[in-house]
């Protein structure tokens, strides 16, 4: 390389350090091409790594640049693989790795930290990579070993993960956290917690791993307790920890805790990004504060499909179907692409409001406009929509003609509409076919029994209950959580042990009477509330 190139290269690289936008980088890059500086692998590597760290990297652009290079280094290969892994294009990353080997480059410890991440969904390639790691002698290198433990833990292959953990002589907080995460994924709450208590050093990431671990395992109280312990230990909650805690608040109905986190965010100037914003919207909606959920949503600068879907389903759950449908329209006008979960929420909203035509239209646009093939859950919503509206024949036809086997929830929706509209015979027929095919979860039997009850056939009710007892079905008791004065109380159907039981019963009787009065007043009887 001549002195002239080196000088040009140095000038450009110092300019690069000040670059902030993609167009600035592209300008420098074209300058480098003109001055032939890109034939300097160091300069080229610097450019590519700039793309690698920028979050809005244009992958196809940087890949073209990579392909145009005459001379590549291990660093350049590593960085290019990293770009694809960061963009979740794992297959491309791995085929690039293969090309790297074919071009005669040896992977180093850095290569493996990217390659192992690319293997999280593909265990056979992961095993092959592990073999390579061993062959090249990187297995006991801390970063690589941590990557391997994470890999096995991620597949819930806890024996292998544990073995690697046990042989590790150089465990750090990441090694421990990776293993804890594996026990969480495989549902071993106690083992995970034991490790968490044992680990010599904890940071915000390990705390939030355990907190979100509890959330994933449905242990919401433990999650919130740990979130409190974290602050008592003097650590500030990080982004993921707050998201996990908010999720626990949403499930527990713990509005006070959720509000506390919101206030904490405001006071500390924590940005309302997509993930945290959605977690807040979800928490407020599930804790009954749909208005606050709406206002948080409006404050989010960057609303993605998850944010919209959260609020749509929140509105639907609050009986505000019209607002839910309107939000869905707004989502489309803002060019946010709905996903399959969005459609479940929207169809639910239609179903509750009896909007049959709108529901059918939306169901059709799912595949026609968005290329999302309706799944069994969407058919379930549609059956529910038709059934609730009293269109039993159409609902039955849909169940017959749907392209996949109806699951117990689809049939449950049909059964429910049989009950509501008094078609006891069809209901009975359906339950028999469900039993035959082994799709009779406890809810199906409860529906059948309720159906007989509402047509006053008490002998049949007793019979179904007896059958359930014989089959050892036990319906999970209905349960709801409510927070009063900072304390979460749990109400389980059939449980009379809580304080103030009499007052609660009186209030609920009052509500019942009020509803009955409304129904009688309304004249068209029992079609909607049951």
Partner DNA sequence: AGGTGTGCCT
By the criterion CB under 7 A, which residues form the site for DNA? 6, 9-10, 13, 40-43, 45-46, 48-49, 52-53, 73-76, 78-79, 82, 108-110, 112-114, 117, 141-144, 146-147, 150, 154, 172-174, 176-178, 181, 203-206, 208-209, 212, 215-216, 238-241, 243-244, 247, 274-275, 278-279, 282, 304, 306-307, 310
Single out the residue of 153, 223, 146 nearest to residue 181, CA to CA.
Answer: 153
Single out the residue of 381, 313, 393 nearest to residue 345, CA to CA.
Answer: 313
Query: Nearest approach, Cβ of 176 to DNA (angstroms)?
Result: 7
d(C-alpha 256, C-alpha 180), whole Å: 29
Query: Nearest approach, Cβ of 37 to DNA (angstroms)?
Result: 10
Closer to DNA by Cβ: residue 245 or 382: 245
- The C-alpha R_g of the chain, in whole angstroms, comes to 29
Closer to DNA by Cβ: residue 156 or 238: 238
Query: Nearest approach, Cβ of 403 to DNA (angstroms)?
Result: 29
Query: Nearest approach, Cβ of 78 to DNA (angstroms)?
Result: 3
Query: By three-state DSSP, how is residue 141 classified?
Result: coil
Q: Is 50 exposed, middle or buried (0-12, 13-18, 19+ CB in 10 A)?
A: buried
Tell me, rounded to whole angstroms, the distance of Cα 2 from its chain centroid: 54
Query: Nearest approach, Cβ of 17 to DNA (angstroms)?
Result: 11
Closer to DNA by Cβ: residue 168 or 377: 168
Query: Nearest approach, Cβ of 81 to DNA (angstroms)?
Result: 8
Closer to DNA by Cβ: residue 282 or 323: 282
Closer to DNA by Cβ: residue 121 or 522: 121
Query: Nearest approach, Cβ of 70 to DNA (angstroms)?
Result: 15
Closer to DNA by Cβ: residue 188 or 419: 188
Tell me, rounded to whole angstroms, the distance of Cα 345 from its chain centroid: 15
Query: Nearest approach, Cβ of 321 to DNA (angstroms)?
Result: 22
Closer to DNA by Cβ: residue 282 or 423: 282
Closer to DNA by Cβ: residue 199 or 383: 199
Query: Which residues, 6+ apart, have CB-to-CB distance to 365 below 8 Å?
Result: none
SS3 per-residue string spanning 210-268: HHHHHHHCCCHHHHHHHHHHHHHCCCCCCHHHHHHHHHHHHHHCCHHHHHHHHHHHHHC
Tell me, rounded to whole angstroms, the distance of Cα 228 from its chain centroid: 24
**How many residues are there in the chain?**
530
Single out the residue of 300, 269, 268 nearest to residue 279, CA to CA.
Answer: 300
Bridge partners (DSSP) listed for residue 480: 491
Q: How many CB atoms lie within 10 A of CB 117?
A: 18
Closer to DNA by Cβ: residue 146 or 417: 146
Single out the residue of 66, 114, 108 nearest to residue 94, CA to CA.
Answer: 114
Bridge partners (DSSP) listed for residue 479: 492
Bridge partners (DSSP) listed for residue 483: 488
Closer to DNA by Cβ: residue 149 or 418: 149
Tell me, rounded to whole angstroms, the distance of Cα 435 from its chain centroid: 32
Single out the residue of 338, 335, 360, 334 nearest to residue 347, CA to CA.
Answer: 360
Closer to DNA by Cβ: residue 14 or 102: 14
Q: Is the distance from CB of 116 to CB of 129 less than 8 angstroms? A: yes
Query: Which residues, 6+ apart, have CB-to-CB distance to 410 below 8 Å?
Result: 376, 379, 380, 383, 399, 402
Query: Which residues, 6+ apart, have CB-to-CB distance to 315 below 8 Å?
Result: 285, 290, 321, 323, 324, 327, 349
């Amino acid at each position: 390389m001549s002195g002239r190139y080196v000088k040009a290269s140095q000038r450009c690289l110092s300019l690069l350090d000040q670059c902030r936008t993609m167009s600035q980088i592209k300008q420098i890059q074209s300058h480098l091409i003109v001055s032939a500086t890109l034939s300097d692998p160091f300069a080229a590597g610097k450019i590519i790594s700039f793309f690698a760290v920028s979050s809005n990297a244009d992958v196809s652009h940087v890949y073209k640049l990579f392909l145009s290079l005459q001379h590549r280094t291990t660093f350049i290969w590593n960085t290019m693989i990293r770009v694809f892994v960061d963009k979740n294009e794992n297959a491309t990353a791995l085929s690039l790795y293969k090309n790297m080997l074919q071009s005669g480059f040896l992977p180093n410890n850095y290569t493996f930290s990217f390659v192992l991440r690319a293997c999280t969904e593909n265990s056979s390639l992961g095993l092959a990579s592990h073999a390579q790691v061993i062959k090249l002698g990187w297995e006991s290198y801390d970063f690589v070993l941590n990557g391997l433990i994470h890999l096995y833990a991620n597949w819930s292959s806890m024996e292998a993960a544990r073995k690697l953990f046990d042989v590790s002589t150089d465990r750090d907080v990441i090694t421990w956290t990776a293993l804890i995460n594996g026990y969480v994924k495989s549902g071993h709450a106690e083992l995970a917690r034991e490790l968490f208590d044992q680990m010599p050093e904890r940071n915000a990431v390990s705390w939030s791993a355990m907190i979100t671990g509890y959330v994933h395992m449905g242990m919401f109280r433990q999650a919130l307790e740990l979130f409190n312990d974290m602050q008592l230990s003097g650590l500030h909650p990080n982004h993921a920890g707050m998201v996990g805690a908010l999720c626990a608040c949403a499930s527990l109905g713990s509005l006070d805790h959720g509000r506390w986190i919101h206030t904490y965010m405001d006071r500390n100037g924590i940005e309302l990004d997509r993930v945290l914003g959605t977690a807040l919207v979800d928490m407020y909606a599930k804790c009954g504060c749909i208005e606050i959920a709406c206002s948080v949503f409006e404050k989010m600068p960057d609303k993605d499909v998850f944010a919209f879907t959260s609020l749509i389903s929140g509105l639907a759950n609050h009986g505000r179907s019209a607002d839910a449908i309107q939000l869905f329209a707004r989502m489309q006008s803002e060019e946010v692409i709905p996903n399959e979960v969005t459609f479940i929420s929207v169809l639910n909203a239609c179903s509750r409001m009896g909007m049959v035509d709108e529901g059918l239209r939306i169901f059709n646009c799912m595949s026609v406009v968005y290329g999302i093939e309706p799944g069994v859950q969407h058919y379930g919503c549609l059956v529910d929509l038709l059934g609730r509206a009293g269109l039993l024949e159409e609902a039955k036809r849909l169940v017959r003609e749907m392209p996949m086997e109806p699951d117990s929830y689809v049939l449950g929706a049909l059964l429910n509409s049989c009950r509501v509209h008094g078609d006891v015979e069809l209901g009975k027929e359906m339950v028999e076919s469900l039993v035959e095919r082994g799709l009779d979860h406890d809810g199906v039997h409860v529906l059948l029994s309720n159906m007989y009850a509402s047509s006053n056939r008490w002998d049949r009710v007793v019979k179904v209950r007896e059958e359930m007892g014989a089959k050892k079905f036990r319906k999970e008791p209905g349960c709801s959580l409510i927070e009063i004065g900072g304390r979460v109380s749990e109400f389980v159907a059939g449980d009379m042990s809580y304080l103030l039981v009499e007052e609660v019963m009186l209030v609920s009787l009052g509500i019942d009477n009020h509803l009955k009065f409304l129904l009688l007043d309304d004249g068209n009887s029992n079609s909607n509330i049951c």
